[in-house]
């Protein structure tokens, strides 16, 4: 603990101020103490020096403790504020602590003042260190998410180069899934998860023979089973990625269906993550409306009829209805990169 202290003393009694300063000099040889006693000088006093502690008398005609607390909050100043009073009942003391004061000391017991200041200075240092740690953690997370975005982008390009018939499919699915998630009012983390998983949801196809993936015609049953394995293979590829969201599990679940008819594990209802249920809807709509060598593209109305007709059966009902609303209100379009994809949450209609 430093042997110097800079204290702003807000006190209208010069006699009491000298007593307080004398008490402080017993513990701090280098003491800088300034006294003010009115609202007019408060702002300048707070701004002119980096005070270690603010000491405030409770009973002053021209300046209230609440005024000092408000001034500190306006300046985002985290300084120990200790109320020093000759008469302060317990109810008023508790009210002051709730408002933002850190401690209170009676003028009849100034021996408590120095220990209180030292304790609050340690607490302030701990708060400062914690804020610095939190800021460093946020910066680290931002870098991690940036690196993760680069990795996901590279993986998505790798998948699409291997499967030219579905080039752009993953990105379009990611955009639609993110729009649905926003429409349902999901948290930012869930939205980022569904968009990231959507961008690489078919990554498991890199483990499937190219002659099957790129075949311009219908597959036989054994070949379909091989293709169906891509969800589990995608999970195996991504499961060790250090991501802040369950991307691997969403990839594994994106072909599950509400009634258990999906794959790879035949999960039902809420056994699957909400991000996976959203991704399933987006994947079906995009796939149906895209041209394939073995069939022409279907209309968006046909795709919406599919998800709405089987909403609550194959597909999550709320996600299906949210998707339909986005298209019918023209808040989303695959052809418009800058569309208003879910600008406003529309949770209520899907309860």
pLDDT at 164 (0 to 100): 64
Taking the C-alpha atoms of residue 145 and residue 223, their distance in angstroms, rounded to an integer, is 36
Q: pTM of the predicted model, to two decimals?
A: 0.62
Triad 50, 63, 33: Cα angle to 5°: 35
Contacts of residue 106, defined as CB under 8 A and 6 or more positions apart, other chains included, come to 84, 85, 86, 88, 112
pLDDT recorded at residue 273: 97
Residue 3's pLDDT band (boundaries 50, 70, 90)? confident
Which residues are tagged catalytic?
Answer: 205
Higher pLDDT, 300 or 242: 300
Which pLDDT does position 347 carry in this prediction? 34
pLDDT score recorded for residue 167: 65
Name the one residue in this structure whose structure tokens are 């408060």.
42
In the predicted model, what is the mean pLDDT of residues 14-38? 90
pLDDT digit string (tens) for 33-74?
899 888 888 888 888 878 899 999 887 877 888 888 888 888
Give helix 188-199 / helix 274-288 axis angle, nearest 10°.
40
344: pLDDT strictly greater than 60:
no
Mean predicted lDDT score pLDDT of the chain: 85
Given pLDDT bands bounded at 50, 70 and 90, which one contains residue 304? very high
pLDDT band with cut points at 50, 70 and 90 for residue 177? very high
pLDDT-above-70 percentage for the chain: 92
Across residues 212-216, what is the average pLDDT? 72
Percent of the chain exceeding pLDDT 90 equals: 42
- Please count the other Cβ atoms lying within 10 Å of the Cβ belonging to residue 224: 12
Q: Of the given ranges (38-52, 110-124, 210-224, 235-249), which has the lowest mean pLDDT?
A: 210-224
CA atoms within 13 A on the CB side of 343: 7
CA–CA separation, 247 vs 199, rounded Å? 10
Please report the domains of the chain, with CATH numbers, ordered by start residue.
Answer: 4-131 (3.40.50.2300), 163-350 (1.10.3210.10)
Which one of 38-42, 84-88, 250-254, 346-350 scores highest in mean pLDDT? 250-254
Query: What pLDDT does 165 receive?
Result: 64
195 pLDDT more than 90:
yes
pLDDT recorded at residue 64: 82
SS3 at position 219: coil
User: Per-residue pLDDT for 341 more than 60?
Assistant: no
């Amino acid at each position: 603990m430093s042997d110097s202290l800079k204290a702003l003393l807000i006190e209208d009694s010069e006699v009491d101020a000298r007593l307080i300063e004398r008490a402080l000099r017993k513990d701090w040889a280098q003491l800088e103490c300034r006294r003010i006693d009115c609202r007019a000088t408060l702002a300048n006093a707070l701004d002119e020096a980096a005070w270690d502690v603010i000491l405030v008398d409770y009973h002053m005609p021209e300046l209230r403790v609440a005024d000092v607390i408000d001034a500190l909050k306006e300046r985002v100043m985290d300084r120990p504020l200790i109320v020093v009073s000759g008469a302060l009942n317990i109810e008023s003391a508790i009210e002051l602590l709730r408002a933002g004061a850190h401690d209170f000391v009676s003028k009849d017991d100034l021996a408590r003042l120095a220990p209180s200041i030292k304790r609050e200075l340690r607490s302030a240092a701990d708060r400062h260190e914690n804020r610095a740690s939190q800021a460093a953690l946020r910066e680290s997370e931002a870098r991690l998410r940036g690196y993760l975005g680069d990795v996901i982008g590279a993986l998505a390009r790798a998948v699409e180069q291997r499967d030219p018939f579905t080039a752009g499919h993953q990105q379009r699915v990611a955009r639609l899934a993110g729009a649905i998630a926003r429409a349902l009012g999901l948290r930012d983390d869930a939205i980022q998860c569904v968009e990231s998983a959507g961008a690489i949801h078919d990554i498991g196809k890199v483990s499937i023979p190219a002659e099957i993936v790129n075949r311009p015609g219908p597959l036989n049953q054994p070949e379909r089973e091989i293709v169906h394995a891509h969800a589990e293979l995608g999970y195996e590829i991504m499961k060790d990625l250090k991501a802040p969201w369950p991307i691997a599990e969403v990839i594994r679940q994106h072909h599950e269906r509400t009634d258990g008819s999906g794959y790879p594990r035949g999960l039902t209802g809420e056994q699957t993550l909400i991000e996976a249920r959203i991704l399933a809807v987006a994947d079906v709509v995009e796939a149906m409306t895209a041209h394939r060598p073995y069939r022409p593209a279907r209309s968006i109305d046909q795709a919406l009829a599919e998800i709405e007709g089987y909403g609550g059966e194959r597909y999550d009902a709320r996600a299906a209805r949210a998707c339909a609303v986005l298209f019918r209100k023209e808040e989303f379009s695959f052809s418009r990169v800058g569309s208003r994809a879910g600008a406003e949450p529309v949770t209520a209609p899907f309860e």
